[in-house]
Structure 1
Amino acid sequence: MTDYFDELNCQPIPDAETEQHQLLLMVRFMQQNGFLDTNLERELSAPPASKEIVENLKERHVTKDDEKCTICLKPNDEPDENGVLNDLFKILPCSHEFHATCILPWLAKTNSCPLCRYEMKTDDKIYEEQKRFRQRQAQREEEIEMLHNSMFG
């Protein structure tokens, strides 16, 4: 008659590793039952916008007919003889415009538009990879939902 380990073709845990195995079982139990948050993926705060993106932002002179900058709400100064003000507006990829003196410090801290939260590219490779992962995950969930709806109406 064969014994249990021979029949299942496995090896018993050596006595020296039993304690570690017990701890692993306990951690697995706690994780599966919601007692332990093992989300080791670090949630990163948004890094600054890419230097290349910031340097290549379109800009234009502020005119007296322009609306106020939504960051500083400063009224437009008196224009010169051509109707142009000394201030510059930086134009973000989402088409929102802000004074250069207002938006550049913002983009040095975060990579998004202060109005619509449009995210620009960053120089942080880890953040960019995490952003791509979240986009792929959202796309997979959408595809699964679409598949489920097509099968079950």
Structure 2
Amino acid sequence: MAGDGDLKQKLQELQKRLGKKHLFEESVCEIRSLLLQYYSSVSPSIQQSFYSVVCRVSTILKTRYTSPGFWTAGLKLFEDAERLVSNPAEKKHLQSCITQAKDQLFEAENSSEDLQSSRGGTNGGYLFEGHLTVDPEPPQPNWMLQSNLLTAAATLLHGESSGLHAEDGNTREHAVSALQELFNRLDDIVPEILDDDSGVPRVPPASKEVVAKLPVTCITEEILVKLGKDAVCSICQENLIVDDKMQELPCKHMFHPPCLKPWLDQHNSCPICRHELKTDDHAYESWKEREKEAEEERKGAANAVRGGEYMYV
């Protein structure tokens, strides 16, 4: 490498190649090679370029790719970069990238093992001849958990009053298991009204149909100039670059689609202006409509009072 200028240009080229799936793993390996070879001897500005490219690898992995091979390459890069950087903030961020990569690979490995286990045996993924296995059983819906809670509570109360004998161990075990699952998902099935006297219901997730119809824009040079060089996705806080896909809310604010969906599932509002999307919960939508009408009535009453005050001044 002739000098800082050539190295910086090479890093910029590699950053652009990261957006092409068939070049991603190769590009990450090349970035890692350059990092190990040059980082310790280059100027602070080139070291910052290295850090920016490594952060870009993390963003692309989080927002686009799930392949274990890609995450393995990213993990090796993050670990090498974390050992080389000296800035505490950069080191802390890279440590979080390492943790996330390890978690992703752990989940991928467990999912693969679970799938093989669910298809177990030597008959190639069949429960019996002519019958394919099914996916792992999904979590029980909240209404079923609530029903199981009542059954489990009744069983335990009956057992405590009459005395469960050794042969009743399985019954008691099932009841305790149901209560344990209830406890694990308490936040999901108990409405958040115990500590809230305001009467405001919890906001449900955004409608899946509404989210699916949100327009997706591909960032171009022109859009990036308009947004500014420091433009970021406000959810993951990573800088935007050309070819990034961004999903636009009705309020015109844009975010990475993989960042936006879980945010809307949890908060159902724009992270910037708090604009709220429509939900599939008819009871909540009816409450919102009633609140809107009540607010208009309150404003009308307030205006009438102010008008009366002006008449008597």
- After the TM superposition, list the runs of 4 or more consecutive aligned residues in structure 1 that deviate by more than 4 angstroms: 39-42
Task: Please report how far the alpha carbon of residue 110 of structure 1 lies from its aligned counterpart in structure 2 after TM superposition.
Answer: 2.9
Q: Which residue of 1 aligns with 2:239?
A: 75
Larger strand proportion, structure 1 or 2?
1
Q: 1:100 to 1:121 in 2, by over 3 A?
A: same
Q: Deviations over 1:31-53 (max 9, x none)?
A: xxxxxxxx998532111111121
Q: Which residue of 2 aligns with 1:114?
A: 271
Q: Which residue of 2 aligns with 1:149?
A: 306
Worse-matched range after superposition: 67-76 or 141-150? 67-76
User: Of 80, 94, 104, which residue of structure 1 is paired with 2:261?
Assistant: 104
Q: Deviations over 1:61-101 (max 9, x none)?
A: 13463521111112345xxxxxx42x310000000000111
Output the amino acid matched with 1:72: C
Q: Does 2:287 correspond to 1:130? A: yes
Q: Deviations over 1:83-127 (max 9, x none)?
A: x42x31000000000011110111122321111111111101111
How many Å separate the matches in 2 of 1:61 and 1:111? 23
How many Å separate the matches in 2 of 1:70 and 1:90? 12
Structure 2 alignment gaps of length 5 or more:
1-195
Q: Does 2:258 correspond to 1:94? A: no
How many Å separate the matches in 1 of 2:240 and 2:268? 26
TM-score (norm 1): 0.63
SS of the counterpart of 1:57? coil
How many Å separate the matches in 2 of 1:70 and 1:112? 13
SS of the counterpart of 1:108? helix
Larger helix proportion, structure 1 or 2?
2
How many Å separate the matches in 1 of 2:305 and 2:279? 36
How many Å separate the matches in 2 of 1:117 and 1:40? 22
How many Å separate the matches in 2 of 1:40 and 1:125? 22
Q: 1:148 to 1:88 in 2, by over 3 A?
A: same
SS of the counterpart of 2:266? coil
Q: Which residue of 1 aligns with 2:219?
A: 62
Q: 1:71 to 1:41 in 2, by over 3 A?
A: closer
Structure 1 alignment gaps of length 5 or more:
1-38, 78-83
How many Å separate the matches in 1 of 2:270 and 2:299? 26
Give identity over the alignment, percent: 35
Q: Which residue of 2 aligns with 1:44?
A: 201
Output the amino acid matched with 2:253: H
Task: Please report how far the alpha carbon of residue 149 of structure 1 lies from its aligned counterpart in structure 2 after TM superposition.
Answer: 1.7
Root-mean-square deviation over aligned CA pairs = 2.2
Output the amino acid matched with 2:294: Q
Q: How many pairs were matched up?
A: 108
How many Å separate the matches in 2 of 1:92 and 1:142? 29
Q: 1:41 to 1:130 in 2, by over 3 A?
A: farther
The answer (yes or no) to whether the contact 1:63–1:76 under 8 Å persists in 2 is no
